[in-house]
Structure 1
Amino acid sequence: MRFMMIVKATTDSEAGNLPSQELLDAMQKYNEELVRAGVLLAADGLQPSSGAIRISYPEPGGKPKVVDGPFTEAKEMIAGYTLIEVKSREEAIEWALRMPDPHGFGQGEIELRQVFEMEELADDPETIARDAALRQLVREQHKA
């Protein structure tokens, strides 16, 4: 089971205020624990929405609309993520609870969401096999 820990943005992260060395060290230690446990798939912080681009599809089948950031409502923005693969929802919660306050100022908020597996979305064996082959190709490319 894959889960994404979505770190919500704050006014500080949206302002581009960088984390302290103490917080960077705590997050590095946490990520090292995830690696040693064999559950970490990816983890990154995101730059503020001032440099972001939002693409929306306002009409079915219509042309996409492109809007440059910044965007309002920092609490709706994402400042980073950690993607893990674990055996259960309970294990994912345990790992999420171990994450240091992601902003270091008592403003941190983490949203934990399970990632869909292809078998949950499609029942066509060919679609599932193509997805598995594509994921394997990605893993091989990252090893090279």
Structure 2
Amino acid sequence: MKVLVMIKGEGADEDKVAPTDEMFAEMNVYNEQLVNAGIMLAGEGLKSSSNGAKVVWDTSGEVSVVDGPFTESKEIVAGYWIWQVSSLDEAVEWAKRCPSTPELRSELEIRPFFEMEDFAQVVSPEILAKEQALVDRVKEQHG
């Protein structure tokens, strides 16, 4: 099963702690363990919300763009991993080993990806085939 592991923090705290050499070293050890175990497919940290934007659709269909920072947000996603694991329990066990920063409250949220077969009962085979063709093209383009 493929899962997205989101590294979450509190919006108001996102610029309070700068990464240190020690933090990078600890995370590098952890990432190396994930790679050696063969479960890490991708993973990156995200710049603070002050570097981002939100695109918002309201109930009337109007679209607006809100520039960061998003300090009013209770939670922000600070980074992520994509893992290939045998079960949600395995992902939880790996997540529990993640280094943390004592100064800040943070959490990891683990969410499984949908697989094509999850939609087999509700989507036509033709649409699933088109979607799979797009997935295959993305893999060809980006590896």
TM-score over 0.5 for the pair = yes
State how far apart, in whole Å, the 2-side matches of 1:136 and 1:25 are.
35
Distance change >3 Å, CA 29–CA 140, structure 1 → 2 = farther
Q: CA deviation at 1:141?
A: 2.4
Query: Which ranges of structure 1 fall in alignment gaps of 5 or more residues?
Result: none
- What is the letter of the counterpart of residue 114 of structure 1? P
2:59 aligns to what SS in structure 1?
A: coil
Matched, 1:111 2:95: no
State how far apart, in whole Å, the 1-side matches of 2:73 and 2:9 are.
6
Distance change >3 Å, CA 106–CA 52, structure 1 → 2 = closer
After the TM superposition, which residues 1-144 of structure 1 pair with which residues of structure 2 at under 5 Å, given as runs? Answer: 1-10=1-10, 14-15=14-15, 17-60=17-60, 62-101=61-100, 103-105=101-103, 107-121=105-119, 122-143=122-143
- What is the letter of the counterpart of residue 15 of structure 2? A
* Range with greater deviation from structure 2 (6-15 or 36-45): 6-15
2:136 aligns to what SS in structure 1?
A: helix
User: Size of the alignment, in residue pairs?
Assistant: 141
1:100 aligns to what SS in structure 2?
A: coil
Kindly provide the CA deviation profile for residues 69-110 of structure 1, in whole angstroms up to 9, marking residues without a partner as x.
111345411111111111111111111112111x35352311
Q: Normalised by the size of structure 2, how large is the TM-score?
A: 0.83
Superposed CA RMSD: 2.2
* Range with greater deviation from structure 2 (103-112 or 1-10): 103-112
Kindly provide the CA deviation profile for residues 20-57 of structure 1, in whole angstroms up to 9, marking residues without a partner as x.
11111111121122222221121111111112101111
Distance change >3 Å, CA 142–CA 37, structure 1 → 2 = farther
Q: Normalised by the size of structure 1, how large is the TM-score?
A: 0.82
Query: Which ranges of structure 2 fall in alignment gaps of 5 or more residues?
Result: none
1:3 aligns to what SS in structure 2?
A: strand
% identity of equivalent residues: 41
- What is the letter of the counterpart of residue 91 of structure 1? E
The structure that is helix-richer by fraction is 1
State how far apart, in whole Å, the 2-side matches of 1:127 and 1:37 are.
35
Runs of 4+ in 1 over 4 A off after TM superposition: none
Tell me if the contact between 1:2 and 1:84 (Cα under 8 Å) persists in the aligned partners.
yes
